[in-house]
Amino acid sequence: MAPTIAPTPSSTESYRDRRAWIAEYFDRTASRAWAALTSDAPVSGIRRNVRLGRERMGATLLGWLPSDLRGMRVLDAGCGPGVLALALAARGADVVAVDLAGSLLEVARARLAQQELPGRVELRLGDMLDPALGSFDYVVAMDSLIHYQGPDMLRALGQLASRTRVGMVVTFAPRTPLLSVMHAVGRAFPRRDRAPAIEPINEQRLRHGFAASEALSGWELGRTQRIASGFYTSQALELTNVSALHPASLAAGRVTLNS
């Protein structure tokens, strides 16, 4: 049985139901597979393509963040085995890495013990929306929001935005005809090679929802990049707190943005 995660204020029933499923899937069913997927261990051809796609996506998100994160507090929302958390700490960030799956956090803890990094990583079991995690300069959410329905994803972004000073880099699963066919075909593959359930979202509807969201009214959408590798399809999205772009903030040196 998956560990009990404390309730999150303002979360919907659909969000809580999917959160429980995610915790069970990654903690009990797929922890070994995801540990292997995020390492250099031999994997099947299907998973090798997924690994390559995830590596490209991780590089994309990191490329949109400052190379020097010293003095910055960063949330790795849905950190899994800790690949991005370690990369962020290597840039000097103070990272809070949170996940629903305790077994994946144990993998991250073992990897962290083998590293000497300029930054710090705090591993936390729980919900990425928990206000007790505090406030952040940046939020990274790679393939953690893709399991939630569009409205729940937008609400989650709004809650994260309320505690984020500069920017967020996240991913969503784009709704495309090819992706729909691939997921239907994927059911024919052995269970060990199947991808976890995701919620494809129409990009235009996501953008319209973003524009209509009161919680995200002080934010703007930036760069986007779709990564497709075999059965892995995910789209990166950059969100920036408009107030962080104020000339006074930049002049004071409190904000470092990549061009």
- pLDDT of 33 reads 74
Joined together, the tokens standing for residue 84 give: 């991005």
**What percent of the residues of the chain are helix, what percent strand, and what percent coil, each to the nearest 5?**
45, 20, 35
Q: What does the pLDDT look like over 174-194, one tens digit per residue?
A: 997 665 555 555 544 444 444
What is the pTM for the complete model shown? 0.85
Task: Name beta bridge partners: 136.
Answer: 164
Q: What is the mean pLDDT of residues 245-258?
A: 50
What local confidence, expressed as pLDDT, does residue 34 receive?
63
What pLDDT, in 10s, does the model give residues 191-202? 444 455 789 999
Q: State the CB neighbour count (10 A cutoff) for residue 103.
A: 18
Q: What domains sit in the chain, N to C, each tagged with a CATH number?
A: 13-251 (3.40.50.150)
| pLDDT higher than threshold 80 for residue 221 | yes
- Convert the pLDDT of each residue in 40-52 to its tens digit: 775 677 778 888 9
